[in-house]
Amino acid sequence: MTRYRIGSLADIPLRGSRCVDTPAGRIAVFRTFDDQVFATENRCPHRGGPLADGIVHGHAVTCPLHNWTFSLETGRATGADDGAVAIFRIENRDGELILDLDAIVPEPAEASGD
Ligand code: FES
């Protein structure tokens, strides 16, 4: 486990995100409406859109380029989209955020076929 300090929760707006450059690459860190934090790779598997620029809703993010949506909890695409993004464990230690740089790579979601 490689831990990496990325700063303060207060640096991320509620229902917003921040992009951090780490030894494991560029990682998007999200703060949800209920003040939880999640982290994913920043690159959308569709065509490389920057997920940190996406829209955070619930525990999901929608890519700013073509609107694919990914669960921040599992990394899997939701709805009719397929694919997945790597996720990273993140700890909120009294407002200080510590990222585990060992990526968790989920199995891609199956497209619904609709
Ligand atoms: S690049 Fe993300 S949906 Fe197309």
Give yes or no for a contact between 87 and 72, defined as CB atoms under 8 angstroms apart: yes
Does residue 83 carry a pLDDT above 70?
yes
CATH architecture, domain defined by 3-100 = 3-layer Sandwich (2.102)
Q: How far is the CA of 95 from the centre of ligand 1 (A)?
A: 31
d(CA 87, ligand 1 centre) in Å: 17
Atom 4 (ligand 1) nearest CA:
66
User: Beta partners for 40?
Assistant: 28, 87
Atom of ligand 1 nearest to the CA of 67: 3
- Is the per-residue pLDDT at 51 higher than 80? yes
How many angstroms separate the CA atoms of 111 and 28, rounded?
24
Whether 64 and 50 have beta carbons less than 8 Å apart is answered as: yes
Between residues 66 and 112, the one the model is more confident about = 66
Instruction: Retrieve residue 114's tokens.
Output: 């609709």
Q: Are strands 96-100 and 3-8 parallel, antiparallel or unpaired?
A: antiparallel
What pLDDT does residue 79 have?
83
pLDDT of residue 109: 59
In the chain, domain spans = 3-100
Which pLDDT band, with edges at 50, 70 and 90, does 35 fall under? very high
Residue nearest to atom 3 of ligand 1 (CA): 66
At 51 the three-state DSSP class reads helix
Locate 8 and state its tokens: 């303060």
**How far apart are the CA of 51 and the centre of ligand 1, in A?**
9
Q: Other CB atoms closer than 10 Å to residue 25's CB: what's the count?
A: 13
Q: Is the CB of 47 under 6 A from ligand 1?
A: yes
Query: Is the separation of the CB atoms in 28 and 43 below 8 Å?
Result: no
pLDDT of amino acid 111: 55
pLDDT of residue 25 exceeding 80: yes
Task: Find the mean pLDDT for residues 89-98.
Answer: 96
Strand partners, 55: 62
Segment 64-68 shows an average pLDDT of: 96
